[in-house]
Structure 1
Amino acid sequence: MDLKLSSTSIKNIVRKSLTGLVTLNQDTALFEFGNVVVQKNYFDSNKVRIMSGGPYCMGDFVGIGMLTAAAQGDNFVAPSSKIILRTLRELSYNHVKGILVIVRASSGNFLNFGLATERALNDNLRVKLLTVSDDVYNEKLPKTCSRGLSGIVLISKIAGAMSEQDLPLTDIFMFCKKYLPNIISTEMDIEEYIESYVNKCICVTKLGGSSSSGSKRIRLSMNITQEVCKKALDRLLKRIDEEEPVECETSESYSKLVIKAEDNLVILLNNNGILSKTEEFVYAKEIMDVLSRSGIHVHRFYIGNFLKSPGKNSLSLTVMKVEDQDVLSLLDSPCTAPGWRSVNQGLQGQLSVDTKILSGNLRRRDRLSPPIRGPKLRDSLANTLLYSTQFACEALISCEKQLDLIDSEKGDGDTGTRLKQACEVLLRRLRQDKIITNYPFTFFESLSKLLESNVGGTMGCIYSILFEAAAKVFNDFSDTTEVTPFIWLKSFESSADALKRYGNIEYGDGTMYDPICACNRSTRAELEQGNHFIYAFGKGVSAAEEAAQATKRDNWKYPDPGAHAVGIWIRAVYEGVKLRCPID
């Protein structure tokens, strides 16, 4: 029977899927907001809470000994920062032990979970974010394209087990972070090997006679099992006591897990729907044989459909090098998550079809306006902040067509339009006195929320992170603190650090981070030499404009549109400040 989802049903498919999940797992429930699966009795536990999520379902890893909650986005994209933050707030209600957030590396996860983490920290919540980038090919990809595969399953289990031991958040975070370099994964494209085998071997057309196409495919798969497994292990492992990697004739120049004879490994074979159950165990046996012949010890071997890889059906192989025997105990510890072992189907009675909905404990579901915190500016400085912001908005509005043209070279051609729309909303709110400028913390928080909702997409999230991180600096000062040029600079540097951290980028990658970083470096150098802050800021703006132009690649006609936009508004901010605060 061919079941297809209509366009009207796809909207609710994620929620319906998770409803089915919690129906079968009686220890879980759904929050009333978003697509968030949570342990039903999480509020009764006073241990560190573990959260994860992403475009695809992590809900079946929710259970005692693994995840406390998992958030999934609609239409198979990363969950929004608002849903993530709401979940963090719910998990933090009357709870002081903290939350460890573990996510697979991807641009959407980095940005949305990063923004939610920054906002949670500004709410004085104890949260740490750990990203798992275990794809062996990551070193060959741009940093912004780093991927996580099935290694997150092992890390989540380890973290959950440590939480059950009532260990502190910092200990769990540091232990898991230390183990990340010991975990590496690769995808095994079975269909590619089958197609290659068919093209090379004419005898396969005579396979099976009257057999079904399915059985022919399985027989073909069995013929290539040894080759697939050897090449996968070759991509992942390098023997330091031999010239060549594990039992393979060729080697590729990727970053591999260094091993030697007598080393102990944990294997996870993640079948993303490409293999039958029979084929799964044949591949597992071949992997064990290859490692055994190389003198490598496998202490644990997990196999099954753990995670779905976006885009296609495939097989992924994860290897973890065991350097601490306690890891095996953590992996063996009790766990009620159905994704790790059999589901809890209510053995004490019949299954309940009533979906459990938790309304949450927060009286205030979402803060409508940012709180007033941190230093208060004098009226003259608040007016300068208002004036320079208006300058920046008007500059971006006037450059709409220019930015759209630049963006059309490699993008959607709408950078200028989206920034113009956000600037128009911001100007309107400023003229209506709906944004407070006397308190930098409140001002930047307001900008963060406004840009996320009005720009949207990756750009909106990036700008939201920038202003959220800037606000955090002012949150650390009292309302009587005099805001000096060095404090302003510190807030800009905090923004750049957040962009670098969550965007997974470096200076020189040709992004909007380049002009922001260049401005900060030049301004700090001038201030530390004792120069007037207007002069120092001017030098920084010039450096930013040069860095923005330098993002133009050899085969590109224009620079990066995001970097060019930064050059525009940072120059406008400077001109506004200079008019209001001239050098004597």
Structure 2
Amino acid sequence: MSGQGSKKLINAVERCVDDMLEGYVAVNPGVRLLHGHRIVVRADVEDYAKSGKVAVLSGGGSGHEPAQTGYVGRGYLTACVAGSVFASPPPQEILPAIRAVAKRNKGGCLLSVSNYTGDRLNFGLAYEKARQEGIKIAMIVVGEDCAVTTNDRTAGRRGLVGYIITNKIAGALAEIGRSLEDIVEITTAAIKQMGTIGLSWSACSAPGSGPTFSLGEDEMELGLGVHGEAGVKRMKMTSAKEAVKIMIDHIINPDNPTHLKVTKGDRVAVFVNNLGATTDMEMNIVVREAILYLEHIGALVERCYCHNFLTSMEMAGVSIMLLLLNDTLTQCLDAPTDSPHWPRPLLPCGVSDRKTPPRLVLDYVEETPTTTLVGGAVVEPDYADKLFDIVAHVSEKLIQNEARLNQLDTEGGDGDTGSTLARGARAILKQLGNKDNPGLPVDKPWSLAQALASTAENQMGGASGALHSLLLTSASSCLENAVTATAWCDALTHGIDTIRRYGGAEPGDRTMLDPLCAARDVLLTRLQETAPIQAFTEAVQAAEKMAEATATMKAYAGRASYVNPDRLTQPDPGATGVAIWLRAILDKL
């Protein structure tokens, strides 16, 4: 179903929360839905109530999954109440949840509320009614957002990731039998030791609605809320490193009235939260940068977490929360829980708990043996200079065509052929150095081919890197003892045969083999009939023609073979890349 620019795979807007909750409890037998309500409770709620341990109850609008449903479980929430998407649940939903967890529980109930006006009002009303019924209950309001930058009267600091972490602390304390009064005291103090800031580069949308706000292609929003509320600053897209610095600097800026004071030597836990659509790659880069920057300013990072704690539908962005640690809070974070969505790090074999801070450096690094290439035919200085120019020109041409090749690759691949080839080309240029002191053995074509093969293998990556490395590695064997036009042709033939053997493609399959084979076929014939430079000119022309012809070929190899043929209307990017570097060689001959 879609509506107003928002695509969601749901049945109906008015039923989406109910359908979601029913699906969730179906795959998590440890929780149940309270009949007739949007209330998720532990399956053993009756036994838990008899234990006299404090029940921890929370809730809020849906659309922030896994919050709050995903945190119901031993050592965390006893129950949660789900509202409609981005809307606080009403008191008639909250009060039955309080009764379910606390009416027969002598330990009482902690009601944990995020500092949004709707949540405060609805949970506050249910809290007052529960007190009138004689239920032992206390309420805390969590607000740790650092976005507010003025002392003007506002609705107060919003509850963001700190809301989720406060509930974990409360649940851990409840599980070990701490009193309601103790839990209120410890969690209230912990909230004052938290600070969060969010950053987004795309909006979210509720089912049936369009985006909650708009951002330009090159824009990011700092300090926004989890419903898409505007932030404190709109800025240009930047690197992860710079973005993390901006976020942490904002959290700890003493000129910000909502800042968190972090001083050198403070023990810190850092939480990097996915707002919904951020990739794992981006998330792990952000957590790395956060650790590095916090250590740079002198903080002691003792715990780090990278997870979907509190999302905002499909919003692309992250929030960073810092928590100043003490022994009690650290123990609460480390305390076991069977909640499905609390992150559990992979610990070393035989280690059952997390005692050491996160590390970015491995204890063991495999030593890669280096191979010194020696021997092989040596060419004259003029020939070596020409090879130097060819290698440089080929590299420059591949870099210049990066965007073009990426665009061609969007039809049948993952849009990175140009970047892959350009990455290898940049590495080669860096190694090449200058003519007076070349960093590559341009005077020994055999060694040069092997060096280029190594760079393709180690720097390019992907299928393109492997194929070019195979081509160059196999070709090099024909250049060890002689460097003639025939030897170069034999090298190309040998390289093609190796690619066919390992790559599985054949001429006509719409791959880089097509221009390579076209060039090789012309060379085999024309080298016997004309000058080498003329033969190579005709070979390059044949390769370029064949590369263009791949636009009408059916793909039988590579990623493009899985794509609907109707979508393949442009030349193959790998074949085009070959035509580019062959033409670049000819330019310098």
What is the TM-score of this pair, normalised by structure 1? 0.50
Higher relative contact order (CA 8 A, sep 6+): 1
What is the TM-score of this pair, normalised by structure 2? 0.49
Structure index of larger Rg: 2
